[in-house]
Amino acid sequence: MPESLAEIFLALHGRTPRIFHAPGRVNIIGEHTDYNDGFVLPAAIDKEVRVAAAARSDRRIEVTSLGAKAKAEMDLDDGAPRPRGDWSDYIRGVAFILESEGYRLKGASLVVASSIPEGAGLSSSAALEVSSGLAFLSLADIELAPRKLADICRRAENEFVGTRCGIMDQMAACLGRRGRAMLIDCRSLDMDSIPLDESRVSLVVVNTMVKHKLGEQEYNQRRTECEEGARILGRFLPRVRALRDVTSEQFAKFKEKLPEKTRARCGHVILENERTQAAAASLKTGDLASVGRLMAESHRSLRDAYQVSCVELDLLVNLARNMEGVFGARMTGGGFGGCTINLVAPESVDTFSERIADGYRKVTGIIPEVYQCRTADGAAELIAESAM
């Protein structure tokens, strides 16, 4: 039997820890909209990061990641810690931003375990940030609103790690709820909790197992293109601060003002925002066929207009489209590899999982991982620890 995280911590540090956890998430629709102040529709899932933690008497942070099989340290009194370019930046970044916001933390020993595949678009990074952030705060007896913690973790990733991610992942890790998807307004951080009836629909995530190198550079370029588009459209539409402020009617009227590539990128974001809100409304009324149609449009747009898909993602989506019991399928996450999200009728999940893995392997020679996910609650302390 595998040792539980608490037992591992006890063996390493000779003390019984407190355990904190934060979930990964899958985004049902609303891709590349978050950094345009737009809408996203993720759900937290039952894959998570767990952090075992105990306070120390000094101001040192000492972290062991079981997944990375590595250790890292940090001194909370170091006023200007430098990123090291490795996994520990996510944790040290959170501690640093919390301290610089005036939250006085305690030194701590941490052991991290995770069931979220890393770099697959299921948000292992935000789960790591949020679970360790919650551990730091709890050990120091500080209570923080979940939205505030989400914002601090996003800042850690933007300002310390150096990834220009939006707020979706941290919001889902902090505020996810079992049985719910969440429509998030990435400008106001308002959230509409949408029931997801898991007796009618299952979330099945399929991992291409590839990650193309272009990803990060292209991501930053898309952000620049979106900013450029918003700036140009803003000359004609004075109230426009971000693409979020442009309606599809306005876009139709002024799109000729944009260079061709920028026009395609902006078109994706503006219509994706409308699709996301429409999908949330359809999910509310249980109209899964409409959600599926919107997901198909979203994928086409990400493939052709935003150009962040890849042959492996397209293959998985095409395979899924013709399978029994599938309401909708599309790439999820930043693109250039990673995963697809599939909404599948519960009775079809096993056949779907088998067939899609088979079909993908036949063409690519790669065996994909298939995750049958349940929705989950956001970050919290685990009171009764169970084996992981």
Does the protein bind ligand ADP through residue 124 (CB under 6 A)? yes
Q: Say which of 169, 185, 192, 287 is annotated catalytic.
A: 169
Does the protein bind ligand ADP through residue 67 (CB under 6 A)? yes
- CB of residue 241 vs Mg ion: minimum separation in angstroms? 25
Where do we find the tokens 């540090």? 13
Q: Is the dihedral of CA 266, 272, 275, 277 positive or negative?
A: negative
Binding mask 19-58 for ligand ADP (x = CB under 6 A): ------------------------------x---------
Q: Which is nearer to Mg ion, 119 or 259 (CB)?
A: 119
Which one of the spans 5-13, 119-127, 222-230, 298-306 is the region binding ligand ADP (CB under 6 A)? 119-127
Does the protein bind ligand ADP through residue 388 (CB under 6 A)? no
- Short-list 190, 102, 175, 184, CA closest to 145: 175
Sort residue 40 into left (φ over 0), alpha (ψ -120 to 50) or beta. beta
- CB of residue 331 vs Mg ion: minimum separation in angstroms? 15
Does the protein bind ligand ADP through residue 114 (CB under 6 A)? yes
Q: Which is nearer to ligand ADP, 72 or 76 (CB)?
A: 72
Binding mask 69-108 for ligand ADP (x = CB under 6 A): ------------------x--x------------------
Q: Which two tokens stand for residue 282?
A: 């359809």
Is there a contact between 110 and 51 (Cβ–Cβ < 8 Å)? yes
Cβ density class 254-287: b for 16+ within 10 Å, e for less: bbeebeeebbbbbbbbbbbbebbbbbbebbeeee
Which one of the spans 48-56, 57-65, 118-126, 285-293 is the region binding Mg ion (CB under 5 A)? 118-126
Residues 121-140 that bind Mg ion (CB under 5 A): 125
Q: Applying CB under 6 A, which of residues 72, 112, 130, 326 lies at the interface with ligand ADP?
A: 112
How many residues of this chain bind ligand ADP (CB under 6 A)?
Answer: 17
Q: Which is nearer to Mg ion, 153 or 270 (CB)?
A: 153
**Is 169 designated active site?**
yes
Binding at 49: pick from Mg ion, ligand ADP, none (beta carbon under 5-8 Å per type): ligand ADP
- CB of residue 281 vs ligand ADP: minimum separation in angstroms? 28
Does the protein bind ligand ADP through residue 68 (CB under 6 A)? yes
Does the protein bind ligand ADP through residue 174 (CB under 6 A)? no
Binding at 128: pick from ligand ADP, Mg ion, none (beta carbon under 5-8 Å per type): ligand ADP
CA dihedral 148, 164, 244, 306 (to 10 degrees): -150
Residues that bind ligand ADP (CB under 6 A): 49, 65, 67-68, 87, 90, 112, 114, 118-125, 128
Catalytic residues: 169
